[in-house]
Structure 1
Amino acid sequence: MKLTLGFSPCPNDTYIFEAMVHGRIDTEGLEFDYFMADVEDLNHRAFRGLTDITKLSCYAYSFAADNYLILDSGSALGYKNGPLLIAKREMTDAEISVSRIAIPGKYTTANLLFSLAWPDAVSKTEYLFSDIADAVLDDRADAGLIIHETRFTYQGKGLIKLADMGQFWEEMTGMPV
């Protein structure tokens, strides 16, 4: 049986799926047509039922749960590794609420967490996750919500952390993100 498989190009996804898609493990007769895409693109493909197996934002799952099941393995949850809100300068909560925010997608868990922390912030623009820091640097956004490996490189571009959305979630719930 051949199944479609979608995952993001972030290192933990490519590591998780590499052996499976390259035939390095016994898949018990299953074959895969795979593709890599941005997480928000994967979310939208899942909403339309275009993939058999897919990476999906935890938040997006609530919109696709009728058609997908969460697998026993493959999730990337943890402490101290959530999305970060970054900017060129310090900002107050009131300033953040009225600022232009670059987000990695409407249905990303990052956007959900940001919306919980700043429910009045409505000026959001979606960007490819890897373009968010540049959107802030180029003044297309006042602040940006970064995910994946950008969490480890933003300081090298002269940007600062305003908030750690993972820490916000952990303090609110005691759960990993």
Structure 2
Amino acid sequence: MGEGGILTIAHTPDADDAFMFYGIVAGAVEIRGFRGVRHVIEDIETLNRWLVEEGRDVDASAVSAHAYAYIVDRYFLLRTGASMGEGYGPVVVSKSESVRLEGSRIAVPGRYTTAGLILTIALRGRFTPVYARFDEIPAMVEDGRVDAGLLIHEEQIAYSRRGLTVVLDLWDWWARVTGGLPMPLGVDVFSRRLGRGAAEAFRDALRLSIEYAYQHFDEALDYAMRYSRVKDRELVARFIKMYVNERTMDMGDDGVEAHRTLYRLARESGVLKKAVELRRDDIV
């Protein structure tokens, strides 16, 4: 059990995460076996580094699907809480349609982000990554500090307002290579230290929290808007509906297969130094 019966949940301030956890935050959903929760809110790459590089043991956390490859022995992968693209996903933008990506400087929102991993696989590593916070990347492209930028979160649907153009849609590449599997991006994980039963209790509560958020959509959107860097309510609502959906309730067997495919491609490309085999016991 978490310290003193309190479960520590780390997640991002991004609109989809904030929306997902609204039912728990509002006190409408309790987590079986725990008397309370403590929310820790940080950007996704900070959470990735905490778990991968610093070895922190957070009870439950949002992480990039890429980051999970390095912590599979310490954390369960939850079927609930995943952000997956279907028909859309992260995009690479530039000021010019004619920019050549191979050999260019591309702003990437973190070493452990899944978008960054997929871009590396797609371009066979033939570019120079410039790591930056995701919300700083559009301005870096605008002022010429980089040739192109990889956009995630709300920025991936707000770029046109800055006059930027898509030069690579990662969904198109992923769908072609995988035969149309959903694209893994973010996941929620749960510490194996607390046991499978506690992980199941958290998973079930998260499902109820998502249901509650959709049942109280305007209230949950108000809460998500407190954190969103984009202040256009209609755009944020659109982003939430893109990434909090039936896949988020349960990624499905093809969602699990999509993660296996991601890790296989990463291993074949040399990004992962050892194979990651997702076993049935790894998934809750």
- 1:63-101: CA deviation from partner (whole Å, max 9, x where unpaired): 111111111311121302311000000135xx2111111
Counterpart CA distance in 2 for 1:36 and 1:134 is 24
* TM value normalised by structure 1: 0.93
Query: How many Å apart are 1:120 and its aligned residue?
Result: 3.7
Are positions 1:171 and 2:142 aligned together? Answer: no
Are positions 1:130 and 2:139 aligned together? Answer: no
Counterpart CA distance in 1 for 2:87 and 2:13 is 21
Partner of 2:11: 7
Are positions 1:19 and 2:26 aligned together? Answer: no
Query: How many Å apart are 1:121 and its aligned residue?
Result: 2.3
Three-state SS of the structure 2 residue aligned to 1:5 is strand
- 1:20-50: CA deviation from partner (whole Å, max 9, x where unpaired): 1332112224222112221111111122224
Counterpart CA distance in 2 for 1:38 and 1:123 is 23
Count of matched residue positions in the alignment of Structure 1 and Structure 2: 175
Residue type of the alignment partner of 1:55: A
Query: How many Å apart are 1:162 and its aligned residue?
Result: 0.4
* Alpha-carbon contact 2:92-2:166 (below 8 Å) kept: yes
| Alpha carbons of structure 1 residues 41 and 58: separation in structure 2 relative to 1, 3 Å | same
RMSD over aligned Cα, in angstroms?
Answer: 1.4
Higher RCO (C-alpha under 8 Å, 6+ residues apart): 2
Query: How many Å apart are 1:137 and its aligned residue?
Result: 0.7
Partner of 1:68: 75
Three-state SS of the structure 2 residue aligned to 1:69 is strand
Q: Which runs of 4+ in 1 moved over 3 A?
A: none
Show structure 2 runs of 5+ residues with no match: 184-284
Three-state SS of the structure 2 residue aligned to 1:80 is coil
Identity %: 33
Superposed counterparts of 1:49-128, under 5 Å: 49-91=56-98, 95-128=100-133
* Alpha-carbon contact 2:101-2:127 (below 8 Å) kept: no
Counterpart CA distance in 2 for 1:113 and 1:120 is 10
* TM value normalised by structure 2: 0.59
| More off after superposition, 97-106 vs 112-121 | 112-121
| More off after superposition, 96-105 vs 28-37 | 28-37
